[in-house]
Amino acid sequence: MKQLQIHDLSKKFDQKIIFENANFDFSQGQIYGLLGRNGSGKSTLFNLIARNIPFDAGEIQIDSDEGAGLTGDYPDLAVEMVYTQPHLPSFMTAREFVTFFTQINSQRLMNVNSSQKPREYLELAGLSADDANKLLRDYSQGMLNKLQLVVALMLKPPVLLLDEPLTTVDVVAAHEMQQLIVSMKQDSVIIFSTHIMQLAQNLCDQVVLLHHQQLEELPGLDLHSEAFENAVIERLTDEINDDQN
């Protein structure tokens, strides 16, 4: 069982405090929805976990009982992030990109016992043979996002961070991507950042709020209940009022 553990995490930019002694444990097999107001620190948290930026104090650990040896000094490859706007090589076709990706990551794929062929991953992304031979520059946003997600699926990372990947896609693509995400939770700790409460309720097993520089869960409330929605709105509204006082 893999776990992402955050202990006493603190981070600020200039005089703006983003996190102050924040704590939370995320476990494999669950999809966590990360909810917060714009500017509350969702992307900052992801960048801290992915080690794109340093934190001021505290500790972030990835622990595994499978002998993987992931500790507070975990390797960068332990974390994969799927972005809202994917950066894929526009001069390649999808088939070329997936083939190239499997070649340069052959050892990682071997380590996670991934024996599927590039063609099978293209099919998993819902790409026809014609689509697979198109240049990525001709792809829609939804097709690019699905391809980016499938590439992450190939690697089975201990931690998968999804930074609002469904924001710019159509209804059909969003549904297909949600199915892919659900299929990935058996292998990874998944944290899904969104500002859409209904999406978090539909997709996630648990919701975590960024509230007053902390990571907060709402225990004892049904995720799909009106009481849960009211509790989320109350906490986030309370945060605005405190900032204005």
Direct distance between the N- and C-terminal alpha carbons of the chain, in angstroms, rounded to an integer: 44
Question: What separation in angstroms does the CA of 135 have from each of 74, 92, 93, 112, 142?
Answer: 36, 5, 4, 29, 15
At position 1, the amino acid (one-letter code) is M
Domains of the chain: 2-88+158-244 (3.40.50.300)
Q: Closest Cα partner for 17 from 228, 214, 237?
A: 214
Paired tokens of 104: 């340069």
Strand locations in 14-155, DSSP E?
Answer: 16-27, 31-35, 57-64, 79-82
Encode pLDDT of 80-94 as tens digits.
Answer: 998 888 889 999 999
Taking only the tens place, the pLDDT of each residue in 25-44 is: 999 999 999 998 888 899 99
Taking residues 83-112, report their average pLDDT. Answer: 87
